[in-house]
């Protein structure tokens, strides 16, 4: 039976400064954004619309603020409002973990809207550009959750080869849910989205595909994770993460339908002019 190694959440001490694994994972996420962004800018259909590597540094600054502020506010408001309002000092303790992807998603959208206003770019063009770079950053965050022994999975069949005991929870074999989410919501989604975005797509299509696929992947992997809380709709019970993923699925479908419908309308031949009046 596997046992979670429970590593020290502090990766290294530099004098009086303690560098946490969770912080290093966010640093890795931001570094891969720059690396993938430079690869994406080299794609002909991206270069053709004027994206440059200088845009990345500026966008990253706005994006970091959106991720950190939005992710933390999402964690506070969506998942644990009672705890954080009872312990306000912990609201800023991001090094302990506790970041909501859905909150970070909204924060990044707001940050990119502000950046787009400054640079004269359409919000959906920006979201189409950055969407393929997001999943690997998410995967790094889930690895940080696993290192911190956060987000334990639901009880698993002891015969499952990778079932794992989390000593900070109990002695019951559990699914390593952060690893599932890292692999499915992060790495698998990145591969699909990167391939999809390698060719020119109509405005909103890449962002819509990301929203749809992430929402579906997260809804699935949430089945293996101990829910923060559950919501009951008649005879149906879903977790908080699943509930928050439903709007992303709906948004993704809407964006994809609009993207291809608008392109179809733009490509439709104009009606021939009447030759004369009767």
Are the C-beta atoms of 158 and 174 separated by less than 8 Å?
A: no
Task: Tell how far CA 221 is from the center of its chain.
Answer: 14
Whether 142 has a binding-site annotation, put simply, is yes
Stated as kind and residue range, the H or E segment containing 26 is helix 21-41
Provide φ and ψ at 20, rounded to 5°: -85, 150
Q: Which two tokens stand for residue 92?
A: 């800023």
Q: Is residue 42 classed exposed, middle or buried when 0-12, 13-18 and 19+ CB atoms within 10 A define those classes? A: exposed
> CA–CA separation, 171 vs 228, rounded Å?
20
Provide φ and ψ at 132, rounded to 5°: -70, -15
- Strand (E) positions, the chain? 2-3, 10-14, 17-20, 164-165, 173-174, 230-233, 236-239
**Binding site per annotation, positions:** 142
């Amino acid at each position: 039976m596997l046992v979670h190694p429970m590593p020290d959440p502090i990766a290294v001490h530099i004098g009086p400064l303690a560098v946490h694994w969770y912080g290093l994972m966010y640093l890795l996420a931001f570094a891969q954004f720059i690396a993938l962004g430079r690869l994406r800018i080299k794609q002909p259909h991206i270069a053709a619309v004027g994206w440059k590597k200088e845009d990345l540094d500026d966008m990253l600054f706005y994006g970091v603020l959106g991720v950190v502020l939005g992710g933390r506010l999402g964690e506070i408001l969506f998942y644990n409002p009672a705890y954080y309002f009872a312990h306000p000092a912990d609201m800023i303790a991001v090094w302990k973990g506790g970041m909501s992807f859905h909150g970070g998603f909204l924060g990044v959208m707001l940050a990119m809207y502000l950046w787009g206003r400054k640079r004269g770019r359409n919000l959906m063009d920006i979201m189409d550009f950055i969407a393929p770079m997001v999943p690997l950053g998410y995967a790094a965050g889930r690895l940080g959750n696993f290192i911190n022994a956060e987000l334990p999975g639901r009880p698993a069949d002891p015969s499952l080869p990778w079932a794992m005991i989390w000593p900070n929870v109990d002695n019951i074999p559990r699914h390593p849910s952060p690893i599932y989410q890292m692999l499915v919501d992060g790495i698998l989604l990145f591969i699909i989205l990167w391939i999809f975005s390698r060719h020119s797509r109509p405005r909103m299509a890449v962002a819509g595909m990301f929203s749809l696929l992430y929402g579906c992947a997260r809804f699935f992997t949430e089945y293996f994770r101990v829910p923060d809380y559950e919501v009951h709709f008649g005879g149906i019970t879903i977790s908080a993460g699943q509930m928050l993923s439903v709007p992303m699925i709906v948004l993704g479908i809407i964006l994809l339908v609009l993207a291809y419908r608008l392109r179809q309308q733009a490509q439709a031949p104009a009606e021939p002019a009447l030759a004369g009046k009767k």
